[in-house]
Amino acid sequence: MRYAGLGGPQDYAAALHHFTSAAEGGQPWAQHALGFMHETGKGTEKSFNSAIEWYKRAAERGLVPAICAVALILKFAPEGIRNYAEAAKLFRRAAEAGNCMAALQLADCLERGFGVAVDRVAAREWYLRAADLKDESTAAAHAAIAALYRTGRLDFPVDARKADEWTKSSQQLLQALQQDRSGSRDDSQDSA
């Protein structure tokens, strides 16, 4: 993986070439990778419009993280690209498919009225649903629940003990994720 520097030095130009070839062949993970490269400007010119195009291609092939990626751009991009209503719609689609980050972002949209009417009951439900999902964003979901208990937002009772429990859970999940990532990196370098 030249993009990540696994099996050799990082080479964004080579990664761009390989991902483009695979993406044009219809591979959704390659389309997602190209979206990320365009979004971040790694190996190519930074372009939210190009990123959205590639993410949408991956999303059309059913890649749920790509749906969330488009929604994240639409929520946080500069004026002219930002579209809260479309972002909220896509967050819901990805959240209903089990994407934790999308569930968190949908909860935030519902709580703050970004692209949807404020709905505190639904926001609370989506924060809790996000915390039950298992993916790379679960630690963030647990941290969000801790903040809700700490502040009493969305009718959560102010409860320092529960906030501390959720914070500890978030930290443990994050530590496990970091260990998994460093173990994966070590394993792939050993096999190179």
Q: Domain for residue 69, yes or no?
A: no
For the stretch 96-122, pLDDT in tens is 999 999 999 999 999 999 999 999 999
pLDDT of residue 190: 46
Q: If 0-12 CB within 10 Å is exposed, 13-18 middle and 19+ buried, where does residue 7 land?
A: exposed
Whether 92 has a pLDDT exceeding 60, the answer reads yes
31-38: long-range contacts (C-beta < 8 A, 24 or more apart)? 31/55, 31/57, 31/58, 31/61, 31/63, 31/66, 32/58, 32/63, 32/65, 32/66, 32/69, 33/3, 35/66, 35/69, 36/69, 37/3, 37/12
For the stretch 160-184, pLDDT in tens is 999 999 999 999 999 998 888 877 5
pLDDT of residue 184: 57
Q: Domain for residue 184, yes or no?
A: yes
pLDDT of residue 183: 72
How far is residue 46 CA from its own chain's centroid?
A: 19
pLDDT greater at residue 187 or residue 29: 29
The structure's pTM equals: 0.86
Confidence band, pLDDT 50/70/90 cuts, at residue 124:
very high
Q: Domain for residue 134, yes or no?
A: yes
Q: Domain for residue 117, yes or no?
A: yes
Q: Domain for residue 3, yes or no?
A: no
Q: How many domains does the chain have?
A: 1
Range of the domain at 105: 99-191
**Helices 28-40 and 64-76: angle between axes, nearest 10 degrees:** 20
Residues 109, 74 contacting (CB under 8 angstroms):
no
pLDDT of residue 49: 96
Whether 6 has a pLDDT exceeding 60, the answer reads no
Q: Domain for residue 128, yes or no?
A: yes
Q: Domain for residue 93, yes or no?
A: no
Q: Domain for residue 171, yes or no?
A: yes
For the stretch 38-85, pLDDT in tens is 999 999 999 999 999 999 999 999 999 999 999 999 999 999 999 999
Question: What would the mean pLDDT of 12-31 be, rounded to a whole number?
Answer: 94
